Structure 1
Amino acid sequence: MQERGPQWPHPAEDVTDHVGYRLKRAHAALRGAVDKALRELDLTVPQYSCLEVLALRPGLSNAELARATFVTRQSMNVVLRALQEAGLITRPDTVDHGRARPVSLTGRGRDRLEAAQARVYAIEARMIRAIPGRRLAVLLEDLDRLTQALNE
């Protein structure tokens, strides 16, 4: 009998039965569907995420937006530049104090966000329909537990 090396975290025939693999597969499917839907609106996932956050909390800085959307500050600079060039956000050229330049949606940005939300929320609804209603709350709790376990 051949030894397998490190102890597997649970009984599995192969790596495709591991929790991490299945999470990654679900994420890849979600990301692919969202990428396709947003591409038709000339948006990327980070740009869309930025617009979503700004709709809830206008005036955030680059660093705050980067943290809220899970990208680096350098990546957020690229995202903000593209959104500003498209006329979807505004940022002052200078600020009275500090270095942070607060970002806000334009009317055009709100319109593009609403179109994107319709598409992205339809994708999420498709996912949710695949889970019996009574199990959705448990799934969400379990995902939060997984996140917490990894952040400890």
Structure 2
Amino acid sequence: MASSQPVSPHPAADVTEHVGYRLKRAHSALRGALDTALREHDLTVPQYSCLEVLALHPGLSNAELARATFVTRQSMNLVLRGLQEAGLTTRPDVVDHGRARPVRLTAAGERRLRSAQDAVYAVEARMVAGIPGTRLAALLDDLDRLVRALDT
């Protein structure tokens, strides 16, 4: 009995021409460049992401930070423990109500974030330099469309 071949979602010679494969390849290249850039600032990508989000939204909980930085709550616990031990974030031992302990950047955390931002933004600039400026907005729109298509 012959099995039928799956139908490709779009014309492609092989899997390396699929959108998902290309997205993963781009993500992998970005992650490698960020790992290298952040190493000199003694930060990991999740730690840096956490600092960026906290700068925009101080007082988020562990669960909120995990969602905003695309890691699990368990992973965020480890990220926060490392940031707190390094003196970059603070959160109260107890709270008046509820269980969520709001996280905030310390002055040292703000300084580390600012110093790392130059390196991270340089990586982003290298990445988008390969895209004609007239196409960047369309790319960003297309990426948002991909997310919406998968969120339904």
Q: Which residue of 2 aligns with 1:78?
A: 78
Corresponding letter in the other structure for 2:138: V
Separation in 1, partners of 2:3, 2:134: 41
Root-mean-square deviation over aligned CA pairs: 1.3
What letter corresponds to residue 24 of structure 1 in structure 2? K
- What residue number does 2:94 align with? 94
Q: 2:129: which partner in 1?
A: 129
Q: For residue 12 of structure 2, what is the amino acid of its counterpart?
A: A
**Once the 2 structures are TM-superposed, how far is the Cα of residue 62 of structure 1 from its aligned partner?**
0.7
Cα distance in 2 for partners of 1:48, 1:146 equals 25
CA-CA distance at 1:39 after TM superposition: 1.4
1:93 deviates by 0.9
Count of aligned pairs: 151
Offset of 1:35 from its aligned partner? 0.7
For 1:118, the equivalent position in structure 2 comes to 118
Partner SS state of residue 131, structure 1: coil
**Cα deviation, residue 66, structure 1:** 0.8
Q: Write the distance in 2 (CA, Å) between the matches of 1:99 and 1:49.
A: 23
Structure 1 residue 5, shift from structure 2 partner: 1.3
What amino acid does structure 2 have at the position aligned with 1:55? A
> Take 2:3 and 2:77, find their aligned partners in 1: how far apart are those partners?
49
CA distance in 1, matches of 2:4, 2:132: 37
Gaps of 5+ in 1: none
For 2:27 and 2:67, the matched residues in 1 are separated by 19
Deviation at 1:132, TM superposition (A): 0.7
Alignment deviations for residues 20-52 of structure 1 (CA, whole Å, 9 cap, x no partner): 111111110000000111112111111000000
Q: Unpaired segments of 5 or more residues in structure 2?
A: none
Tell me which stretches of 4 or more aligned residues in structure 1 moved more than 6 Å. none
Shift of 1:75: 0.8
SS at match of 1:30: helix
Report sequence identity in percent: 75
Cα offset, 1:13, TM superposition: 1.3
Deviations 1:83-119 (A, max 9, x none): 0000000111111111111111011101110111110
The within-5 A match list for 1:48-87 is: 48-87=48-87
Q: C-alpha distance in 2, partners of 1:59/1:35?
A: 26
AA at the equivalent of 2:23: L
2:138 match? 138
